[in-house]
Amino acid sequence: MEKEILIFGHKNPDTDTICSSIVKEKLEKKLGKNVKAVKLGEINKETKYALNYLNIKEPETVEKIEDSQEVILVDHNDFAQSVDGIENAKIIEVVDHHRIANFRTAEPLYYNAKPYGCTSTILFNEYKINNVEISKEEAILMSSAIISDTLLLKSPTTTKKDVEALEELEKIAGIDIKEYGLEMLKAGTDLDDLSEAQLINLDAKSLDKEGTKFVIAQVNTVSIDDVLKREDALKEAINKEIKEKGLSLFVLAITDILNSNSEIIALGSKASIIKDAFGKDLENDKAFLEGVVSRKKQLLPNIDKNI
């Protein structure tokens, strides 16, 4: 029997990563491919809300892959954010909406990258191109991903394509997307039972720029002040990560999904770059960034060019 092609997104998976992996599996199976969606870590409460709503079992976790394993990457391309062994895998396809970084292959591949707000918006177009009908379940999965990545279309990463896709998916899904989306986003803001170490790694992206390693992590909330009640413990957990992983900078963005602002905690030897990146001095290792909600479009570009 032909070996399964594995489909997965990045480590510390978010809703787009998980939903897009499952949707891509469903699409490729309809096209006759032997594929399997997997994940590279534990899913968050927001994603659990979406899967539980649909009574879908979460994908199996994979920590390492064998040499020459055929894979399809969704929602990432950076090897630093991928599975152990990715350097020796056979990457046959990528579907992504991020910048291309730290990526190489030995053979040609299909690479579908668009500057959209969400990977599932790209997959929505793949269904159209392949003339494959979208089921209600698939529509809700893709809607969940778009809602998550664009914060219900309020994020600056939102594009016209995301808006158009979500409008059509809402009709297929047959649900009130705004009502469903708010409940899903709120589910992801329940952080009380997470340790500080879990919280800072809940949605953390590791990056490497010419040997300088840094992390930008993000948590969504409806009350920044509630999260900052744990400030000292969060800083202790961040400093432990910095020491253990040899990081030059760790930025934790605490994002208010209702008012579209973020408070960041920045620690490490490169923390002083925050002033150049955002024009804000750190006070007690913190800075309030009005209107900043997107790691991809607002946090990462400013930090990356100043690191």
Could you report the per-residue pLDDT of 132-157, keeping only the tens digit for each? Answer: 999 999 999 999 999 999 999 999 99
Tell me the pLDDT tens digit for each residue of 172-187: 999 999 999 999 999 9
pLDDT more than 90, % of the chain: 91
Strand order through the sheet with 60-61: 60-61, 35-39, 5-8, 70-74, 90-96, 110-113
* SS3 category, 306: coil
| Averaged pLDDT, 268-289 | 96
Burial class (CB in 10 A: 0-12, 13-18, 19+), 1: exposed
Q: What integer best gives the mean pLDDT of the chain?
A: 95
* pTM for the full predicted model: 0.85
Burial class (CB in 10 A: 0-12, 13-18, 19+), 237: buried
Q: Would you state the pLDDT for residue 192? A: 87
Q: Would you state the pLDDT for residue 258? A: 87
**pLDDT grade for 296, boundaries at 50, 70 and 90:** confident
C-alpha–C-alpha distance, residues 137 and 183, integer Å: 18
Q: Would you state the pLDDT for residue 301? A: 93
C-alpha–C-alpha distance, residues 71 and 30, integer Å: 18
Q: Which pair of tokens denotes residue 77?
A: 């391309």
C-alpha–C-alpha distance, residues 271 and 292, integer Å: 18
| DSSP for 162-219, written as a single string | HHHHHHHHHHHHTS-HHHHHHHHHHHTT--TTS-HHHHHTTTEEEEEETTEEEEEEEE
Report whether pLDDT(120) > 60: yes
For β-strands 35-39 and 60-61, DSSP reports them as: parallel
C-alpha–C-alpha distance, residues 125 and 128, integer Å: 5
| Averaged pLDDT, 274-291 | 96
Which range (6-10, 53-57, 121-125, 192-196) has the least confidence? 192-196
C-alpha–C-alpha distance, residues 237 and 272, integer Å: 20
* SS3 category, 92: strand
HSE-CB for 111 with a 13 A CA cutoff: 13
C-alpha–C-alpha distance, residues 204 and 200, integer Å: 7
Tell me the pLDDT tens digit for each residue of 184-213: 999 999 998 899 999 999 889 898 888 899
Q: Would you state the pLDDT for residue 1? A: 54
* Residue whose C-alpha is closest to residue 226's, from 258, 261, 191: 191
Q: Would you state the pLDDT for residue 307? A: 86
C-alpha–C-alpha distance, residues 263 and 229, integer Å: 13
* Residue whose C-alpha is closest to residue 184's, from 58, 49, 281, 296: 49
Domains of the chain (ranges; CATH) run 5-186 (3.90.1640.10), 196-304 (3.10.310.20)
| Averaged pLDDT, 89-107 | 94
pLDDT more than 70, % of the chain: 100
Report the chain's terminal Cα–Cα distance, integer Å.
Answer: 49
Q: Would you state the pLDDT for residue 33? A: 96
